[in-house]
């Protein structure tokens, strides 16, 4: 156990983690020896148990249970430790693979960028096309760089090796530098190529991107259940993350437009401006729609989550109250006990009644959400809660009325008892007076 516990912390270098995994594997391989010892001890315990008194047998049983628990605990500890170390080593492998992938790409891409830079002035559409391809490639690689950061954070949580983050930052910086360099290269080429053809090309790219983005946003408009809302929210978030790409396309088109419009005859400039205005309006509308749909989906998700949270809380509360109400109470024919029980049922009834607005709101919300999701199950579930609440309310009323009747019966009995005692006392006085008179008459006689 001590050896395994010493290997339970995955912090440190990969080699240290591998060594810990090896030690745990060695311990695991020796479990058969330990298992034999445990079985031997249990057999010995069993033999002694037969010839031992009751008190000794109880102690032996406790020792047996403790030994089994320790043995199971050790196996569980080994399994957990193996899982932790395996998870850490997996994180190391993921990080190293992604880092190597990023490193090779950056080194290879740097050569491409250097080749374009060494070419000097680039003045042909083919040059611009090639530079745009480089820019698109570096933008596409952003996913890998972000993945490297995710791998880094996952590994840091397990290994706490600071150099891992330093290494990640180094390659992120290299990527950012490449992105900046390629963007500068594209800008330089665009300065040399400001003809109408390039503007049309940029415009088509933006139009295609906007059409795709608008289509995705439109597909996310509507309503559904929680699964649907979360799925659409994730989709809309993907569009939001791609807005940087769209912004880059818009900026590139704006630059090309600025040069193209100055070199376009005045009688043709208006058509260019109208195209540019149309795309800007489409971009602005996309931003508005994106924010609006995102807000609607977040609100829908929050509404569903609030509904299920309220439903679960009400269900738990009903279960608790049903349990409280099902408890049996013996008043022992004591008035004080009866009144205490009556007060308890009154409080329970008040609490049940106080939940009526929550139930009604939940019913309305369930009906509305069920219509939104086009599913009857949601409303049926809330209907079941309503039935339970009504049953609980009726049972509470019945128990309260039962106790009140019992108190009334008790009061009636006490009153009858007092009247009987009063009558007996009066009869007693009459008999005493009669006896006294009788004795007096005898003495006189």
Q: Is the pLDDT of residue 207 over 80?
A: yes
Give 183-195 pLDDT, tens digit per residue.
Answer: 988 887 776 566 6
Determine contact, residues 108/102, Cβ cutoff 8 Å.
Answer: no
Residue ranges per structural domain of the chain: 1-191, 195-292, 328-412
Instruction: Between 282 and 148, name the one with better pLDDT.
Output: 282
What's the confidence (pLDDT) of residue 41?
Answer: 54
Percentage, residues of the chain above pLDDT 90: 18
- CATH fold of 195-292: Methane Monooxygenase Hydroxylase; Chain G, domain 1 (1.20.58)
What's the confidence (pLDDT) of residue 419?
Answer: 81
Give 30-79 pLDDT, tens digit per residue.
Answer: 554 555 455 555 555 555 555 555 555 555 555 555 555 555 555 655 66
What's the confidence (pLDDT) of residue 216?
Answer: 93
| C-beta pairs of 128-136 under 8 Å, 24+ apart in sequence | 128/186, 128/189, 128/190, 128/193, 128/198, 131/182, 131/185, 131/186, 131/189, 132/186, 134/109, 134/182, 134/185, 134/186, 135/182, 135/183, 135/186
What's the confidence (pLDDT) of residue 279?
Answer: 92
Q: Is the pLDDT of residue 442 over 70?
A: no
Instruction: Between 26 and 372, name the one with better pLDDT.
Output: 372
Percentage, residues of the chain above pLDDT 70: 72
Q: Region 410-425: what's the mean pLDDT?
A: 80
Q: Is the pLDDT of residue 408 over 80?
A: no
Q: Identify the band that residue 381 occupies on the pLDDT scale cut at 50, 70 and 90.
A: confident
- Separation of alpha carbons 190 and 194, rounded Å: 6
What's the confidence (pLDDT) of residue 122?
Answer: 44
Instruction: Between 407 and 351, name the one with better pLDDT.
Output: 351
Instruction: Between 75 and 221, name the one with better pLDDT.
Output: 221
Q: Is the pLDDT of residue 295 over 60?
A: yes
What's the confidence (pLDDT) of residue 114?
Answer: 85
Rg (CA), the chain: 42
Q: Which CATH architecture has domain 1-191?
A: Up-down Bundle (1.20)
Domain 1-191 matches domain 195-292 at the CATH topology level: yes
Give 224-280 pLDDT, tens digit per residue.
Answer: 888 888 999 999 999 999 999 999 999 988 888 887 777 655 766 788 888 889 999
What's the confidence (pLDDT) of residue 258?
Answer: 82
- Identify the top-confidence range among 8-17, 272-281, 356-365: 272-281
Q: Is the pLDDT of residue 19 over 60?
A: yes
In this structure, of 15-19, 64-68, 333-337, 352-356, the range with the lowest mean pLDDT score is: 64-68
- Separation of alpha carbons 172 and 145, rounded Å: 7
What's the confidence (pLDDT) of residue 121?
Answer: 44
What's the confidence (pLDDT) of residue 69?
Answer: 56
């Amino acid at each position: 156990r001590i050896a395994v516990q010493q290997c339970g912390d995955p912090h440190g270098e990969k080699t240290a983690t591998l060594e810990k995994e090896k030690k745990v594997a060695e311990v695991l391989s020796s479990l058969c020896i330990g298992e034999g010892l445990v079985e031997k001890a249990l057999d010995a315990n069993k033999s002694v148990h037969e010839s031992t008194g009751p008190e000794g047998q109880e102690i032996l049983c406790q020792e047996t249970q403790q030994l089994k628990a320790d043995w199971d605990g050790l196996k569980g500890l080994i399994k957990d430790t193996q899982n932790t170390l395996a998870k850490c080593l997996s994180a190391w492998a993921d990080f190293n693979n992604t880092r190597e992938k990023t490193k090779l790409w950056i080194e290879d891409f740097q050569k491409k960028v250097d080749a374009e830079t060494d070419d000097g002035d680039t003045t042909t559409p083919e040059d611009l096309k090639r530079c745009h391809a480089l820019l698109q490639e570096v933008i596409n690689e952003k996913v890998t760089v972000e993945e490297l950061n995710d791998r880094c954070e996952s590994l840091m949580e397990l290994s706490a090796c600071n150099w891992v983050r330093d290494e990640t930052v180094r390659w992120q910086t290299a990527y950012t530098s490449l992105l900046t360099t390629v963007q500068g290269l594209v800008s330089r080429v665009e300065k040399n190529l400001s003809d109408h053809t390039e503007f049309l090309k940029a415009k088509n790219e933006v139009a295609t991107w906007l059409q795709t983005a608008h289509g995705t946003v439109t597909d996310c408009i509507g309503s559904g259940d929680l699964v649907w809302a979360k799925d659409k929210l994730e989709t809309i978030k993907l569009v939001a993350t791609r807005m940087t790409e769209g912004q880059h396309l818009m900026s590139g088109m704006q630059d090309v437009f600025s040069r193209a419009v100055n070199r376009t005859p005045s009688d043709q400039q208006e058509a260019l401006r109208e195209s540019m205005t149309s795309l800007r309006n489409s971009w602005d509308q996309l931003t508005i729609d994106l924010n609006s749909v995102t807000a609607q989906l977040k609100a829908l998700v929050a509404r569903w989550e609030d509904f299920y949270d309220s439903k679960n809380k009400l269900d738990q509360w009903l279960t608790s109250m049903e349990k409280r109400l099902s408890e049996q109470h013996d008043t022992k024919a004591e008035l004080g006990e009866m009144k205490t029980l009556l007060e308890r049922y009154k409080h329970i009834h008040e609490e049940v009644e106080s939940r009526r607005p929550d139930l009604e709101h939940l019913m309305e919300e369930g009906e509305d959400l069920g219509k939104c999701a086009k599913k009857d199950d949601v409303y049926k579930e809330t209907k079941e809660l309503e039935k339970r609440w009504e049953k609980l309310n009726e049972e509470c009323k019945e128990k309260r009325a039962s106790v009140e009747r019992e108190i009334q019966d008790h009061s009636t009995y006490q009153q009858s008892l007092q009247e009987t005692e009063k009558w007996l006392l009066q009869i007693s006085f009459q008999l005493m007076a009669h006896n006294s008179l009788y004795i007096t008459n005898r003495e006189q006689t």
